[in-house]
């Protein structure tokens, strides 16, 4: 299994760790986005499930992240790609609930 993916899978299971670790998790997810098309179908499925976990627990991740960084300012500095939704946890938690639908790479999982 891809080592970035392995790391990300562990990271999303622990919303209660340091915000610095969450920032590293978001960086890892951005690195995964660059190689996502090279992942096996099994790895992509695991990534989709991890993304769902991140989106579901966005408020918890954001609470700890906010103790260390201002996510909006972090986005301005990093200028993530438009499909890197994980850098928008602060906006995601304020969005209305979306209907359940199959995960499509590059979209916000629900």
Domain that holds residue 72: 3-92
Could you read off the pLDDT of 24-58 as tens digits, one per residue? Answer: 999 999 999 999 999 999 999 999 999 999 999 99
Residue 100 domain-assigned (yes or no): no
Residue 44 domain-assigned (yes or no): yes
Residue 103 domain-assigned (yes or no): no
Residue 16 domain-assigned (yes or no): yes
Residue 108 domain-assigned (yes or no): no
In the DSSP assignment, the letter for residue 83 is T
The percentage of residues in the chain with a pLDDT greater than 70, rounded to a whole number, is 87
- Split into its structural domains, the chain has a count of 1
CB of 51 closer than 8 Å to CB of 103? yes
Phi-psi region at 98: left, alpha or beta (left = phi > 0; alpha = psi -120 to 50): beta
Which of 34-42's residues contact partners 24+ apart within 8 Å by CB, and which partners?
35/2, 35/4, 36/105, 39/2, 39/5
Residue 76 domain-assigned (yes or no): yes
Residue 105 has pLDDT above 80, yes or no: no
| Cα–Cα distance for residue pair 86/25, rounded to 1 Å | 10
Angle at alpha carbon of residue 46, lines to 44 and 47, rounded to 5°: 60
Residue 104 domain-assigned (yes or no): no
Residue 101 domain-assigned (yes or no): no
């Amino acid at each position: 299994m891809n080592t970035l993916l392995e790391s990300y899978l562990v990271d999303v299971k622990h919303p209660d760790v340091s915000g610095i670790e969450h920032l590293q998790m978001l960086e890892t997810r951005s690195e995964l986005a660059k190689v996502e098309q090279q992942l096996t179908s099994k790895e992509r499925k695991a990534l989709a499930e991890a993304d769902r976990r991140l989106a579901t627990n966005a408020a918890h991740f954001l609470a700890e992240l906010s103790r260390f960084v201002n996510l909006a300012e972090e986005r301005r500095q990093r200028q993530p790609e438009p499909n890197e939704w994980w850098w928008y946890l602060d906006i995601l938690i304020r969005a209305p609930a979306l209907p359940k639908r199959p995960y499509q790479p590059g979209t916000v999982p629900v």
